[in-house]
Amino acid sequence: MSAPQQTRNRRTLVSLAMLATGMICLAYAAVPLYQIFCQVTGFGGASKRVEAASTTVGERIVTVRFDANTDPALPWKFEPVQRSVEAKLGENMLIFYRAKNLAAEPVTGMATFNVTPLKTGGVFAKVACFCFDQQTLAAGEEVEMPVSFYIDPAMADDKTLNDVKTITLSYTFFRAKAQTAAVDGTKAASGG
């Protein structure tokens, strides 16, 4: 094989290795980047996180329903304290979800959330939420966890949202990843 041919082959090999490395890096970065994109835009039913409550209250009223789900790997009972509220656009609302640890040891969970219809994600604003952080409950502990939110008054100006009368805020609690790894390690060590 000639020297120029070897040089071309080497360049091709290096280019392919760089491409493969770039694809792997992009695959690892895709999930956090997508989550950030969804939170900023409300895409996929992700609500937006805001620092302060609304100062403007509109006249339009929307029913907000609350839904709660628990992954089977998390030994918790999880439910909304109230099933729904009527909220004016821009009205600051405070509601609670109740969680109880049914296990005989402390368990840490993390909630994921979305709103439906998905197109309302950009106008559903959370000021404070238990879903922003992991929650650890002692054995048998029961707590009420707050969610402070409002529906952006700009919803009244968005013609694509004129048909929306009800928004559903849904949470699913999962066992925290670090704790899942610890539980899996314990099962492996005990032969289970």
pLDDT digits (tens, 9 = 90+) for 36-63: 555 554 444 445 555 555 666 778 999 9
In sequence order, which ranges of 103-154 are alpha helices (DSSP H)?
A: none
Residue 187 has pLDDT above 50, yes or no: no
Please indicate whether residue 169 or residue 1 has the higher confidence score (pLDDT): 169
- Percentage of the chain with pLDDT > 70? 76
Report pLDDT for 17. Answer: 85
Task: Name the phi and psi angles at 176, rounded to 5.
Answer: -60, 145
Distance, in Å, from the CA atom of 24 to the CA atom of 20, rounded to the nearest integer, reads: 6
Report pLDDT for 32. Answer: 61
162-179: pLDDT as tens digits: 999 999 999 999 998 876
pTM (predicted TM-score): 0.67
β-bridge mates for residue 129, sequence order: 147
Report pLDDT for 182. Answer: 46
Q: Tokens in use for 75? A: 């030994």
Q: Which residues of 165-191 are buried (b: 16+ CB within 10 A; e: fewer)?
A: eebbbbbbbbbbeebeeeeeeeeeeee
Q: Which fold has domain 45-182?
A: Ctag/Cox11 (Pfam 04442) (2.60.370)
Sorted by where each begins, the domain ranges of the chain are 1-41, 45-182
- Percentage of the chain with pLDDT > 90? 50
Task: Name the phi and psi angles at 34, rounded to 5.
Answer: -65, -40
